[in-house]
Amino acid sequence: MHLYGTQTVDEKGHLTIGGVEVTEIVSQYGTPVMVYDTELFKERASGFKETFEKKGMKAQVAYASKAFSSIAIYQLAEQQGLSLDVVSGGELYTAVAAGFPRERIHFHGNNKSREEITYAFEEQIGCIVIDNFLEIDIIKEIASERKQKMNVLIRVTPGVEAHTHDYITTGQEDSKFGFDLKNGQTDQAFNALLDHEFVNFLGMHCHIGSQIFETDAFKFAAEVLMEKMMEWRTVHQFICPVLNLGGGFGIRYTEEDHPLEPAVYVEEMAEVVKSMAGEYEYPVPEIWIEPGRSLVGDAGTTIYSAGSTKEVPGIRTYVAVDGGMSDNIRPALYDAHYSSAIANRMNEPHDQQWTVAGKCCESGDKLIEEAFLPRVETGDLLAVFCTGAYTYSMASNYNRLPRPAVVFAEKGQHQLVVRRETYEDIIKLDLPLHQQAKEISQ
Ligand SMILES: Cc1ncc(COP(=O)(O)O)c(C=O)c1O
């Protein structure tokens, strides 16, 4: 059985995370509960930062917070010296509430509204990553009206096909994101921004996909963007001070996944930039990266309680848990695979095949199609590993299920960072039918 980060199995056969028994977390906060190993988050953050430091390269490591957005994780990212990638007014608002340094916030998104862009100006954030021509117009207008400078990057699609699931690949030419590099859109965007009094053009951004295991695609993307930067130097005498190479570094969800150490991806990309800059005597740009999954993915584990079981003779045996697609949509959405264990009986052989089902009214609400577990008893604690990214942030109240609690665990201490939703929370936006409408229908 593969354990992640600080996870251990103690003498009672219980899973521990951050030095805390999962059973203790459950007795305090109930289930389902998401437990983050914050030491693993810190280790990854410093691994990325040190990779650039060792190479003597200036860099910003921005946590792509769509992976898991909350005040506490933003504060942890801040403490680790990370920057922050936000993609909506809501994520920006969370960052502001967390007291995140505004100059280290980068704002992404393919359809930012005028209100969201104005909010970014009001908060004087560090950079807007422009995605389309409408946004160029809006930013120029707002910057001129407010007479306020704004740093910008443009997001480009370098046409690199990363080998990953189609739905989570965003770097291909047929993408809803960014300006195409090959058909001239990128040059058009560059020309539209270059000489604006209040717009400070920093360079290009690309994000070629997610859960990528090989370094070639990243290196190729870096090369393609560096070539464009050299062209702009020749044609416009313009030097880009920044190159943002996005995120997408793969992690191990199951034994089928064989990622490299996250910092290795960065090491190799940075090397391409450094050596090309040396070869062409181009000033080495500051590199920005945006890891999401590789910072929080395997740091997170969801603990469920096992409920009913059902045997379909000769086919499969189901065990249903007290959550499901409402707290983790990824298996239903992307056919994502996870590994699991019985957290209160870790030492028993995990050799029986089960299908872990959620409790939502959807046949497709299965968390794990083929899970190897001991004989599961009602009340057992089922740990699903590697659930830290794109789960809570995509969670819904489908079937009006309250969203789980989120807990940070480290060095034997634990802290609630998102409380469990209550039934009151679930109806808090609902308004009753008007009296008049009631009378009409009677
Ligand atoms: C622009 C951008 N940057 C960074 C990320 C983070 O990717 P990952 O979580 O795979 O590292 C994403 C994810 O979709 C993204 O769209």
310: domain CATH number? 2.40.37.10
Residue nearest to atom 4 of ligand 1 (CA): 247
Q: What is the rounded radius of gyration, in angstroms, for the C-alpha atoms of the chain?
A: 24
| String of DSSP letters for 242-296 | EEE----B---SSTT--PPPHHHHHHHHHHHHHHHHHHTT-PPPEEEE--SHHHH
What is d(CA 250, CA 258) in angstroms, rounded to the nearest whole number?
8
Please, which residues bridge with residue 85 across strands? Answer: 64, 106
Q: Are 144 and 277 members of one domain?
A: yes
Instruction: Write down the pLDDT at residue 166.
Output: 35
208 and 341 part of one domain: no
Question: How many distinct structural domains can be found in the chain?
Answer: 2
Residue 12 to residue 343: CA distance in whole angstroms: 11
Task: Kindly state whether residues 279 and 333 are assigned to the same domain.
Answer: no
Whether ligand 1 lies within 6 angstroms of the CB of 67 is answered as yes
Give catalytic status of residue 361 as yes or no: yes
Rounded Cα gap, residues 78 and 100, in angstroms: 6
Residue 264 CA to ligand 1 center (angstroms) comes to: 17
Predicted confidence at residue 192, as pLDDT, reads: 97
What DSSP state is assigned to residue 127? E
Measured CA to CA, the distance from residue 60 to residue 286 in angstroms comes to: 8
Nearest CA to ligand 1 atom 1: 207
**Average pLDDT by consecutive 10-residue portion of the chain (442 residues)?**
96 98 98 98 97 96 98 98 98 98 98 98 98 98 98 93 50 80 94 95 95 90 96 97 97 94 90 96 98 98 98 96 98 96 98 98 97 98 98 98 98 98 98 80 65
195 and 343 together in one domain: no
| In a shared domain, residues 306 and 382 | yes
Residues 245 and 285 sit within 8 Å (Cβ to Cβ): no
Q: How far apart are CA 306 and CA 327, in angstroms?
A: 15
Instruction: Report the CATH number at residue 122.
Output: 3.20.20.10
> Coil, strand or helix: which one is 124?
coil
Q: Is the CB of 291 under 6 A from ligand 1?
A: yes
The model carries a pTM of 0.96
pLDDT at site 172? 53
Question: Domain check: are 179 and 287 in the same one?
Answer: yes
Domain edge (last residue) among 226, 257, 291: 291
Q: Using CA positions, which residue lies closest to atom 15 of ligand 1?
A: 207
The verdict on 271 and 303 lying in the same domain is no
Domain assignment of residue 211, yes or no: yes
In degrees and rounded to multiples of 5, residue 127 shows phi and psi of -170, 140
Note whether 308 and 410 are same-domain residues. Answer: yes
All residues at 6 or more sequence positions from 264 whose CB lies less than 8 Å from its CB, including other chains = 215
Of 244, 271, 291, the residue that ends a domain is: 291
Residue 96 lies in a domain: no
Q: Is residue 175 situated within a structural domain?
A: yes
Strands of 30-133, DSSP E:
33-37, 59-64, 83-86, 105-107, 127-130
Q: How many whole angstroms separate alpha carbon 214 and alpha carbon 55?
A: 21
Residue of 11, 1, 18, 4 whose CA lies nearest to 413: 18
Identify which of 128, 207, 260 to mutate to test ligand 1's pocket (most ligand atoms within 8 A of the CB): 207
Residue 101 belongs to some domain of the structure = no
Helices (H), 56-132: 71-79, 89-97, 114-122
CB of 308 closer than 8 Å to CB of 355: no
Phi, psi dihedrals of residue 359, rounded to the nearest 5°: -110, 10
Q: Do residues 383 and 62 lie in contact, with contact meaning Cβ atoms separated by under 8 Å?
A: no
DSSP helix/strand/coil, 199: strand
Residue 233 CB partners (closer than 8 Å, separation 6+)? 239, 282
Residues 6+ apart with CB under 8 A from 13: 344, 345, 346, 347, 348
In a domain, 136, yes or no: yes
* Same domain? 354 vs 409: yes
| Residue 420 in tokens | 């469990």
In a domain, 435, yes or no: no
**Are 323 and 192 within one domain?**
no
Q: Is the CB of 301 under 6 A from ligand 1?
A: no
For residue 150, which of 93, 112, 98 has the smallest C-alpha distance?
Answer: 112
List the domain range (segments joined by +) for residue 341: 8-37+298-427
CA of 85 to the centre of ligand 1 (A): 9
Indicate whether 31 belongs to any domain.
yes
In this prediction, residue 294 carries a pLDDT of 97
Instruction: Please identify, among 291, 313, 331, the residue that sits at the C-terminal boundary of a domain.
Output: 291
Q: Is the CB of 64 under 6 A from ligand 1?
A: yes
| Predicted local distance difference test score (pLDDT) of residue 175 | 84
Report the distance separating Cα 304 and Cα 384, nearest Å: 8
Name the residue at shortest CA distance from atom 16 of ligand 1.
207
Contact 128, 139 (CB under 8 A): yes
Q: Are residues 269 and 416 in the same domain?
A: no
Q: Could you please report the per-residue DSSP string of 316-344?
A: EEEEEES--TTT--HHHHH-----EEETT
| Residue carrying the six token digits 């090397």 | 271
Residue 230 dihedral angles phi and psi, to the nearest 5°: -65, -40
Same domain assignment for residues 318 and 261: no
Amino acid at 267: E
| Mutation choice for ligand 1 from 290, 298, 330, 387, CB with most ligand atoms inside 8 A | 290
Residue 366 belongs to a domain: yes
